[in-house]
């Protein structure tokens, strides 16, 4: 039987063919393009698996909705017990995780798909690491105690900083950790965070660490560690300049008074100002960084805060602070209130914009490095991650699609890298 086709049948066939072609193009696009703009690493401290390790959840962020979704094979073991901190290398090729109970830093190489591959593990110079920071050339770690036989939880002693020089990445190997820098004054690989005079016996514990390279400071790098004097219930910032071999030299006037109980520390994108959150007093304290002269790198309290002080109001028990690298806004996570406070930033002054609800007890926070538009918090008691989209115009936050996102138990740290596909971000210079 011979079939006959009229003009309308031909139109139907042409339309069907066009639809099929469009479908094939769309399907191909799904394989060659992606809306993933970043990979976010959320470290959870609660023991998991046969080795009692913590876990690392890996999320991908959708560039349109901000929605965070775990990648295949997630989570990954943290490489040690009770992980407490995480940081990525400047080339975004490695993730470093500090595992407190093992006194170790586990290094993972990062695949193009965001997956983690164990690379090496080293011991920290001191006892019980609590925080880390990284530059292109060095990894800094703050330990709860100095590495002395007399130091323990039963007989606590002051904390310490250690420095691992980083070798440059190559085609065959990632940036790797060299031998810890040596402090000749103690004949060891650590720099004590201790006081002098009548307070020499006080127990000073580090709480956070930040590396700062101020604009216009001729490439000088400084590292600042916030610390809590539990003996006197007083806070400090210890400041050091960083030598070419990683060795640290105390800055003029260090340590600097910093409220009652500093809990987190960060610098603005230009390195002109340094801020710490005060856990006890519900404040953010601001300091200016000297850029030249004999006092280069030293800190001086700002006078643009409440009543001409250097204090800016925060929520209850603030524990994390981040600055948007592209826009003049800062964000503080308030653990007791389960909120994030947004601020505008002008000449060092923080002006509160609004507060936004998170999951229960946010303890860590980050901003995506591709667009600087997506903010996320790790919520310790909520066992989840809250996602937000920040407005480049006014710094306000909008909850990301389907937020919050389930994580492993008791998340404590976050880090992120840009995706290298079509949603990829700006690589470091």
**For residue 421, what pLDDT is reported?**
38
Structure tokens at 95: 């993730």
Cα separation, 186 vs 171, whole angstroms: 38
What Cα–Cα distance (Å) separates residue 11 from each residue in 3, 8, 15, 61, 188?
16, 5, 6, 42, 83
Q: What is the pLDDT of residue 34?
A: 66
pLDDT in the model for residue 17? 47
Q: 308 is written with which tokens?
A: 């001409």
8-state DSSP, 27: H
Q: Are 360 and 377 in contact (CB under 8 A)?
A: no
Q: What would the mean pLDDT of 88-105 be, rounded to a whole number?
A: 95
Tokens of 68: 């965070």
Q: Is the pLDDT of residue 3 over 60?
A: no
What would the pLDDT profile of 340-351 be if each residue is shown by its tens digit? Answer: 999 999 999 999
Confidence of residue 2 (pLDDT cuts 50, 70, 90): very low
- Over 50: is that where the pLDDT of 428 sits? no
Q: What is the pTM of this model?
A: 0.89
Instruction: Please give the Cα distance from 116 to 59 (Å, whole number).
Output: 12
Alpha-carbon separation of residue 75 from 47, 79, 97, 140, 400 (angstroms): 13, 12, 14, 26, 22
Name which of 295, 299, 251 is nearest 271 in CA terms. 299
Strands 311-313 vs 127-134: parallel, antiparallel or unpaired: unpaired
Residue 366 bridge partners (DSSP):
376
CA proximity to 167, closest of 86, 220, 245? 245
Q: Which pLDDT band holds residue 208 (cuts at 50, 70, 90)?
A: very high
DSSP per-residue codes, 185-234: TTTBS-EEE---GGGTT--EEEEEEEEE--TTSTT--EEEEEEEETTTTE
The β-bridge relationship of strands 311-313 and 299-301 is unpaired
Q: What share of the chain is helix, strand, coil (3-state, %, to 5)?
A: 5, 45, 45
pLDDT at 73 > cutoff 50: yes
If we measure between CA atoms, which residue out of 372, 360, 268 comes closest to residue 321?
Answer: 268
Question: Which tens digit of pLDDT belongs to each residue from 157-200?
Answer: 999 999 999 998 888 889 899 999 999 999 999 999 999 998 99
Of residues 326, 325, 361, 324, the one with CA closest to residue 340: 361
* pLDDT band, very low/low/confident/very high, at 11 (cuts 50, 70, 90): very low
Name the phi and psi angles at 86, rounded to 5.
-150, 145
Cβ–Cβ < 8 Å for 176, 147 = no
Residue 27 pLDDT > 80, yes or no?
A: no
Instruction: Name the residue with tokens 């593990």.
Output: 121
pLDDT of residue 50: 64
Q: Is the pLDDT of residue 235 over 80?
A: yes
**pLDDT of residue 16 exceeding 90:** no
What pLDDT is attached to residue 30? 37
Average pLDDT over residues 55-66: 95
Question: For position 23, what pLDDT does the model report?
Answer: 44
Q: Domains of the chain (ranges plus CATH)? A: 34-418 (2.130.10.10)
Other beta carbons within 10 angstroms of residue 122's beta carbon come to 19
What gap in Å lies between CA 139 and CA 166, rounded to an integer?
7
Phi, psi of 60 (to 5 degrees): -110, 140
Mean pLDDT of the chain: 89
DSSP character string of 258-321: --S-EEEEEE-TTSSEEEEEETTTTEEEEEEE--SSTTTT-EEE-SSSGGGSSEEE--SSEEEE
Distance between CA atoms of residues 392 and 372, nearest Å: 9
In the predicted model, is pLDDT for residue 5 greater than 80? no
Asked whether the predicted pLDDT for residue 6 surpasses 60, the reply is no
pLDDT exceeds 60 at position 18: no
pLDDT at 49: 62
Question: Is the Cα dihedral 348, 352, 354, 357 positive or negative?
Answer: positive
Mean pLDDT of 58-68: 95
Run of H or E residues at 16: helix 7-32
What is the C-alpha to C-alpha distance for residues 343 and 349, in angstroms, rounded to an integer? 9
Flag whether pLDDT at 380 surpasses 80.
yes
């Amino acid at each position: 039987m011979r079939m006959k086709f009229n003009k309308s049948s031909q139109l139907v066939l042409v339309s069907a063919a066009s639809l099929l072609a469009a479908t094939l193009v769309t399907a191909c696009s799904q394989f060659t393009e992606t809306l993933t703009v970043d990979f976010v690493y959320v470290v959870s401290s609660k023991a998991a698996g046969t080795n009692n390790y913590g876990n690392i959840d890996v999320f991908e962020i959708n560039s349109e909705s901000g929605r965070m979704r775990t990648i295949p094979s997630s989570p990954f073991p943290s490489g040690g017990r009770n992980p407490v901190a995480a940081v990525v290398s400047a080339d975004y090729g490695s993730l470093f995780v500090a595992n407190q109970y093992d006194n170790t830093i586990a290094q993972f190489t990062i695949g193009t798909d965001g997956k983690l591959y164990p690379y090496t593990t080293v011991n920290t110079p001191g006892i019980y690491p609590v925080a880390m920071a990284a530059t292109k050339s060095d990894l800094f770690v703050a330990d709860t105690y100095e590495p002395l036989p007399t130091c323990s939880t039963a007989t606590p002693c002051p904390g310490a900083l250690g420095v691992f020089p980083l070798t440059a990445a190559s085609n065959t190997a990632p940036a790797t950790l060299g031998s810890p820098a040596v402090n000749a004054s103690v004949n060891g690989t650590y720099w004590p965070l201790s006081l002098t005079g009548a307070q020499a016996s006080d127990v000073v514990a580090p709480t956070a660490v930040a590396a700062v390279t101020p604009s216009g400071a001729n490439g000088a790098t400084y590292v600042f560690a916030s610390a809590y004097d539990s003996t006197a219930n007083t806070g400090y910032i210890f400041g050091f300049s960083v030598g070419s071999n990683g060795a640290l030299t105390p800055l003029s006037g260090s340590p600097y008074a910093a409220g009652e109980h500093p809990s987190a520390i960060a610098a603005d994108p230009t390195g002109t100002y340094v801020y710490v959150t005060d856990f006890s007093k519900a404040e953010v304290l601001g300091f200016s960084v000297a850029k030249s002269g004999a006092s280069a790198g030293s800190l001086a309290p700002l006078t643009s805060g409440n009543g001409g002080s250097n204090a800016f109001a925060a929520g209850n028990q603030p524990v994390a602070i981040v600055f948007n690298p592209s826009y003049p806004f800062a964000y503080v996570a308030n653990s007791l209130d389960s909120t994030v406070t947004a601020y505008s930033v002008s000449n060092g002054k923080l002006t509160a914009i609004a507060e936004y609800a998170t999951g229960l007890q946010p303890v860590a926070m980050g901003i995506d490095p591709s667009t600087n538009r997506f903010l996320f918090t790790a919520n310790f008691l909520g066992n989840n991650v809250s996602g937000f989209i920040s407005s480049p115009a006014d710094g306000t936050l909008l909850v990301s699609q389907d937020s919050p996102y389930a994580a492993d138990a008791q998340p404590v740290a976050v880090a992120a890298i840009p995706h290298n596909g079509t949603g990829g971000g700006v690589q470091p210079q």
